[in-house]
Amino acid sequence: MQRFSALSLLKRGLSGQRGWTPQWRRPEPKTGYDAIIVGGGGHGLGAAYYLAREHGLTNIAVVEKGWIGGGNTGRNTTIIRSNYLFDESAALYDHALKMWENLSQELNYNVMFSPRGVMMLAHTVHDEQVSKRHVHANRANGVDNEWLTAKQAKEFCPPLTIDNIRYPVTGAALQRRGGTARHDAVAWGYARAADALGVDILENCEVTGIRRDANGAVAALETTRGVIESRKIGVSAAGNTSVVMKMAGVQLPLESYPLQALVSEPIKPIFPCVVMSNTIHAYISQSDKGELVIGAGTDAYNSYTQRGGLHISSHALEAICELFPAFRRLRMLRNWGGIVDVTPDRSPIVAKTPVPGLYVNCGWGTGGFKATPGSAHVFAHTMARDEPHPINAPFTIERFADGNLIDEAAAAAVAH
């Protein structure tokens, strides 16, 4: 692996950026691996990296049906925060947030993590009560979160309108350690670092079947690039998890929905933080390129179309224009959809499955990007040790039978 440093960047810069080598190999699949991850998004590539680095499993592969980071890793609004209500969630998401803080150094790849603050607005008495409950619960768990008055919110984010609108802002909860990162760089950084440790990244390799032995344990993957044997398979396939798991005869409590996002034409730096509003349903930040990145909602029905209805994104834009009248004349450059896999309690499943050797990391719903490093880290632990890390131990499939739900539905930044 060519390491990046100020010196190497300067040297290549002065020699016309020539001499860079590909960031990862494009190997042919071997006949078998010690472990295989299905899904080349941030969560899957990260899990491969931690399997290799922390657990010494280097004869492993990531199979991806398209190109790496082409799914939800490249389609989300890049927001990172850990201000979740329940203890289990706070532990999981804050584990991730702490890893974000050092990820660029860890991977020797600039993921552009920018802890610029995530501010969640309150517009009603009910909002205030819920937000303050979150602030207190977070602080009790060692997760930073603070309550701002409307005036303080306006000072923190000057473009924000707090009064003379239909739903005046009455206050806000601010997590200063939250922020954004460059989503593509997360996939590329993990891919490059995993590749350097010997992990084979197999793109354009779609799983078409999962073979099991006489005892029911996983034995091999059937793919569009041939049969690949492995006794340890981790599925990290986001919206397509139900499809892949069905090949092993496992049904999960998941439904897949299109979730949309939009970006505006690029403008000068105007927006200093991330702002989210549950009540009027909008969230927004500004990318380093200058585009405003805006999140919309999910469609009402499950689908795999990666599109979403126009009225869903229009609704989000109406809310943005109400909160930020200065943006009314901006044009939107692109909108798109990603397929998110949603569980009934809106918390993920990172666990073993009833099939020996088969593991699943799914159900991240509308907010998986923020968890990428933490999720990948505990999933690698679960696969390597055949038992969960204490942090993901509560996030089982069995919780839907035994009733130990982690009901974060009301704690999502916006209601989906």
Binding site for another protein (CB under 8 A): 240, 242-243, 251-256, 300-305, 307, 309-311, 341, 344, 400-402
Token output for 33: 């691996």
Residue with Cβ nearer another protein (115 or 308): 308
CA torsion through residues 98, 95, 296, 38, sign: positive
| Angle, alpha carbons 25-4-8 (nearest 5°) | 115
Residue with Cβ nearer another protein (63 or 254): 254
Q: Are the CB atoms for 183 and 73 separated by under 8 Å?
A: yes
Residue with Cβ nearer another protein (165 or 243): 243
Q: Are the CB atoms for 25 and 201 separated by under 8 Å?
A: yes
Nearest approach, Cβ of residue 208 and another protein (Å):
13
Nearest approach, Cβ of residue 370 and another protein (Å):
24
Q: Are the CB atoms for 361 and 375 separated by under 8 Å?
A: yes
The enclosing H or E element of 61 equals strand 60-63
The enclosing H or E element of 321 equals helix 310-323
Nearest approach, Cβ of residue 305 and another protein (Å):
6
Residue with Cβ nearer another protein (262 or 292): 262
Residue with Cβ nearer another protein (126 or 246): 246
Nearest approach, Cβ of residue 81 and another protein (Å):
27
394-410: string of b/e by CB count within 10 Å (b at 16+)? bbbbebeeeeebbebbe
Nearest approach, Cβ of residue 71 and another protein (Å):
14
What span, in angstroms and rounded, lies between the C-alpha atoms of 342 and 234?
19
Residue with Cβ nearer another protein (291 or 345): 345
Residue with Cβ nearer another protein (130 or 362): 362
Token output for 315: 């609704």
What span, in angstroms and rounded, lies between the C-alpha atoms of 293 and 76?
9
Please, is 306 exposed, middle or buried when counting C-beta atoms within 10 Å of its C-beta (0-12, 13-18, 19+)? middle
Nearest approach, Cβ of residue 330 and another protein (Å):
24
Nearest approach, Cβ of residue 258 and another protein (Å):
9
DSSP letter at 1 equals: -
Nearest approach, Cβ of residue 317 and another protein (Å):
15
CA torsion through residues 152, 161, 280, 184, sign: negative
As a whole number of Å, the end-to-end CA separation of the chain is 42
Segments in 86-209 forming alpha helices (H): 87-100, 103-107, 125-140, 150-156, 183-196
Nearest approach, Cβ of residue 368 and another protein (Å):
17
Nearest approach, Cβ of residue 288 and another protein (Å):
34
Q: Would you list the DSSP string of 355-408?
A: STTEEEEE--TT--GGGHHHHHHHHHHHHHHSS--TTTTT--STHHHH------
Residue with Cβ nearer another protein (10 or 243): 243
Nearest approach, Cβ of residue 298 and another protein (Å):
11
Residue with Cβ nearer another protein (25 or 311): 311
Residue with Cβ nearer another protein (11 or 311): 311
Residue with Cβ nearer another protein (28 or 402): 402
Pairing state between β 292-298 and 255-264: antiparallel
